[in-house]
Amino acid sequence: MIPSLAMLLLLVSATPPPKAKPHAFVLVPMPQRVVHNKGAFRIGASTNIVFSDQLPEDRFAAEQLMEEILTDLGERIEPISKPSPKAITLTRLTAPVSKSDLGQGYKLDVTPLKITISAQTAEGMFYGVQTLKQLIRANRKLHSIPACHIVDWPTLKYRGWQHDISRGPIPTYAFLMKEIRTLSEFKLNMLTLYTEHVFKLKKHPTIAPEDGITADEIVELCSYAKQFHVEVVGNFQSFGHFENILKTPGYQNLAENRRVLSPAKDESYRFLSEVFSEVAPAYTSPLFNINCDEVSGLGEGPSARLVRQIGVANVYANHINRVVALLRKYGKTPMMWGDIALKFPEIVPKLPKDLIALPWAYDPRASFENQILPFTKSGLQFMVCPGVSCWNQMWPDLDTASVNISNFIRDGAKMGAIGVLNTTWFDDGVSFFDDNWYELVWGADCSWVPATPTRAQDPELVRKVRMARFDREFPSVFYGIPGSKLSTAMKQLSTLRKNPVSGGLKNSAFWRDPTPALATITDPESITAYLGDVAKVTEQLLAAKPKATHNAATLDYALFAARRAKFLGDSLLAVRAQQQFNMQPVRNLAAELAAIKDSYADLWQRENRLWWLDKNIAKFEDLQTTIRKLYK
C-alpha cells in the first residue's frame, strides 16, 4: 500500500523538529533557518532600495530586485545611497552569518517597517536578493511581504549544471545568457559547456562547425556570468568521445580507434597542447574539465603494446598526468569524469593530488556511496554528477531523475563533496534544453540543502516529503503560478512513457513506421487510454501558460512534447483506419506532422544556432515519406 502524503509527513516529523519555527513560505531552495514573524512590509511608490555607491556588485543585485518589483507589482522603485524610512536596505556584514557560510551566506529580515538584507560578500548579498524576489513572486498578498527572519547559507560550495553543446544543438549566446540569469535565481553558481569539437580553433580551423563557439564568446560569457556569481568552467574532451575530431580529414592519425584519442602517439599531446593554448585562456575559472570518460577499446589500437606492458590502468593514469601537465601553464585545476577510475580503482592513487574527481551515475538507486568511496579513500576532492534523464527523450524521465539527483547529492554531501554538477546530455541531437527546468531547479534545491535524513528517519520518506514540497513550490517560484497542478502535469507527461503506445517517449519512437508499431499493441484499449491521458496533460499545460508571469515561453516546450506524444497514438489509430480503407485519418496525420516539423524548427531556433537543424528536419521528412506511402 502506498502511504498518503499525510502519513509521510507524520512519519518524517517523528524526529525532533529544527530550532526554527515551521513556516508556510514558498521558497526554492528552502533556506537553512526561517522564522515567520507577525505583520508584513508593504512595497509601494514610497519604498526605496538603499545600498552603498561604493559597491557596484550590490547595485547589480539591487537592479535585479527592482526588475522583480516592476514585473510582479508594477512599481518602479528608486535606488538611493542614504538611509530612508520604509526602505529595502542592502548592507554588508563584517563576519560570516554562520560557521558554514562558505562566503555565500546572508540574512534577510522583513518587518512591517523595513527590509534588510545583510551579507559579508557580494555573492551572499546576491543570494539574499534572490530569496526576497521569491517572497515577492510567490508569497505576497497584494503588495505586502510577510514578516520573517531568515539566516541562510549553502551546504555545498559549487552548485552547477552542464550544458551538452557537442551532440548537435549548439546554444546561441543569447540562450546561454538566459540560462545563467534563470538558474542563478535559484542560487546555482557553476556552468560548464561539454565540448568535443565545437570550439572554433585558429590552429585547427577545420574541426568545428561554422556555428561553433568562439573564444571571444567564452570571454564575454565568463564576464556576463560573473555578474550573477556563476563561474563558467572550462571544458574540452581529452581522451574518449573523440569521433567528431578523428573523422575530420587530416586527424585520423591521432586515433586509438574511431572514438578514442591514442595515448601512444606524441602527436596526440601536441594536438591537445595546441587546443589548450586557445581554449584554456578563454575561461577565467581556475577549474577545467578534461572529461576523459568512456574510453572503450583502449589498448586495441596503437597503444596495444603499451597496454600489454604496463596495463590499462597505468596507460590511463599516465595519459591523465600528461594532459594535466599541459594545463598547468594556464593555472588550471583539472576535473575528470570518474567512470574509468571506478572501473580500475588502481588508477586513483596515480592521479594528480589536486584533481577533482567527477563520479557520475544516472539511475534511481537508493545509495551512491560506492560511486564515491574510491575517491574519498584517496583523499581526492570530488563533485557528484547526477543527470536530468533527458537524453534521447521527447520529455525527461522525471521519476528517474528526481530520485537520482536527490540521492546522489545527499550521499555526496554526507561524504564530503565540494559540489554538484547536474548534467544535461543530448546524445541524439534532437531534444531541447528548455525541457529540463523542473529537474535543474530540483537540483538547485537539493544542492543548497540536501535531503539528508536523521538516524531515525527513513531516507525514502524524507525524499518523498521533500519532493512533495518542491512540487507545490516550483510552479510558484519559476512561473509565478500558485499550486502544484503544473508540476503534476509535467510529471504526468513523463509518466506517459509507461504506456507501450508511447514507445517509452524516446525520440526514436517518434520516427518509427506506425504500421509495424501497431502490430505490437496487444490491447487496443491502451491507445484510447493513452490519448485520453495526453489530452488531460495538454489541457493542464494550456491552462497554465496564460497564468505564467515568469518563464512562460518555456511551457511551449512541454506542450510540444505533449503534441509529439499525441502523434504517436494518432499514428496508430490512423493505420488502423487505413487498414479499413479509411484514408482521411492518415491524411490528417500527414498534415499534423508537417505542422509539428515547422514548430520544431521554431523551437530549435529559440535555443540554438542553425547547425544540425537540417539533420533533424531530415528525420521529419523521412517520416513524412513513410506516412505518405500509407495513402498513395
Name the grid cell of 559: 506542450
Give tens-digit pLDDT for 91-109.
999 999 999 999 999 999 9
- pTM exceeds 0.85: yes
Check residue 23 and give its pLDDT. 53
| C-alpha closest to that of 456 among 16, 10, 6, 2 | 16
Check residue 81 and give its pLDDT. 76
Contact of 446 with 410, CB cutoff 8 Å: yes
Determine the Cα–Cα distance for residues 582 and 580; give it in Å rounded to an integer.
Answer: 6
Sign of CA dihedral 286, 169, 508, 529: positive
Give tens-digit pLDDT for 470-523.
999 999 999 999 999 999 999 999 999 999 999 999 999 999 999 999 999 988
Sign of CA dihedral 398, 403, 407, 410: positive
- Going from the N-terminus, what domains does the chain have, and what CATH number goes with each? 24-152 (3.30.379.10), 158-452 (3.20.20.80), 484-628 (1.20.120.670)
Contact of 265 with 274, CB cutoff 8 Å: no
Check residue 466 and give its pLDDT. 97
Mean pLDDT over residues 260-288, rounded? Answer: 98
Give tens-digit pLDDT for 315-371.
999 999 999 999 999 999 999 999 999 999 999 999 999 999 999 999 999 999 999
* Full DSSP string of 446-490: HHHS-----TTS-HHHHHHHHHHHHHHHHIIIIIS--SSHHHHHH
Strand blocks (E) in 239-355 = 287-291, 333-337
Confidence band of 82 (pLDDT split at 50, 70, 90): confident
Check residue 10 and give its pLDDT. 39
Determine the Cα–Cα distance for residues 460 and 467; give it in Å rounded to an integer.
Answer: 10
Give tens-digit pLDDT for 552-599.
999 999 999 999 999 999 999 999 999 999 999 999 999 999 999 999
**522 versus 446: which is more confidently predicted?**
446
> Which range is least confidently modeled, 14-18, 84-88, 132-136?
14-18
Residue 614 has pLDDT above 50, yes or no: yes
Check residue 257 and give its pLDDT. 97
* Residue type at 617 in one-letter notation: I
Confidence band of 83 (pLDDT split at 50, 70, 90): confident
Mean pLDDT over residues 4-23, rounded? Answer: 40
Confidence band of 11 (pLDDT split at 50, 70, 90): very low
Question: Vertex 297, ends 292 and 298: CA angle to 5°?
Answer: 60
Enumerate residues 6+ apart whose C-beta is below 8 A from 343.
none
Tell me 53's DSSP state. Answer: T
Packing angle of the helix pair 485-495, 459-474 (nearest 10 deg):
120
For 537: left if phi > 0, alpha if psi spans -120 to 50, otherwise beta; the answer is alpha
* Residue type at 165 in one-letter notation: I
Residue 18 has pLDDT above 60, yes or no: no
Contact of 418 with 383, CB cutoff 8 Å: yes
> Which range is least confidently modeled, 14-28, 218-232, 320-334?
14-28
